[in-house]
Structure 1
Amino acid sequence: MNYKSSTIVLFLALIAMVIYHFYSVENGIEQKQTSDQKLQTEENQTSSDSDQELKEHFSSMISNGVDSTIGKFISQTTAKGKLDSMLAYRRNNPGKPGIQNSYGYIFGLEKMRGLIQRIDKINKDQDSVELTGVRVYRTISKTKGKKYFDVFMIAVTKENQDYPNLGNPDLPKMRETEDEDPILNYSNPCPTECD
């Protein structure tokens, strides 16, 4: 095929594509891009529906108060799958420069037992409060002048309130009682300290 013939063939192919495009638009035949956009819209809607469904699920779990049996033990296979999923997420979302984006946090058993002992002591000594759970907040800590993601754990009442209540401006100013407050912080973050 010579240069002139190939040019004519390409020109005819272009005309055929344009005719097909207009025909498909007029007759409601979706093209791949439109289909992809539709899928994206459906995914966004599904995600929004999922978010609402999860919100309702978790709200219903504590609608009658924070039950001391919240949580489940999982198998090592399930745990590995969850960890692999988080590692894949981190590879795709490296985080903000200047702050270490950890995905795991280590606390010593002695400190964990100490947190439970503080909670048990408050439950024993105070009739006005019933602590039934522990909430874990993701936060930012600073060590040696460097910021890193961290977590702290705080006791939670049956009524789903942090104890002590850190966010209620109506409460009287609390005295600092590090040796008594059921709040545990300054974990050893991962990575890279545990990889």
Structure 2
Amino acid sequence: MEMDVYDYESYQMSIQNLLMLKLFHDEGINVSNFPNYMTHINYGDTNSLDIFTNGMNQLFENTIHFDYGDVDSKEFKELFEDLVGGDGPHSVPEFAYVIKDPLFELLLNSPYSRVFEKLLKGLVSDDMNVCECIVLPNRDGIGFLFEFYSQFHNVAEDCINLKHEAMKLKKQYKREIAKE
């Protein structure tokens, strides 16, 4: 039996979407109202980004999604100041996510900031996908700058793991404060 490339890619993406739903479900997120995980790329029927966005919105307190056309918006420029485009060290992303969560803000402004920032290095980037995770200039959250990405389940898994590690660091930090 042969399968054409569109069906093959559609099945792979559908499995990745199902995995992403499972990851969010295991975190206690109600995924019953999420888009269908089944995909067919030949018809432009892909729900990966929608599933990812819904999960991120429930996983963290405040997430903001910027499409490519939004990089000229005032809100985007205020968040990233001189970091993106022009003379900034980062190229203009295809799209971006900003996560502003009290947990991340606490750690970024604590003695554990270097440990937390070290966790961000190399996060969600590999040979097939290009995404950079940066600390926002005012240190109240992090940003994901996506230059190219197709496997959102990897990002979802990394974000969940990052949140778990951040919760461990927060407990450690609170114990140290209590000793003082």
Regarding TM over 0.5, the answer is no
- Structure whose residues are more often helix by fraction: 2
- TM-score range (shorter-chain normalised) is under 0.3
- Structure whose residues are more often strand by fraction: 1
Q: For the pair shown, which has the larger CA radius of gyration, 1 or 2?
A: 1
Please report the TM-score for the alignment, with normalisation by the length of structure 1: 0.22
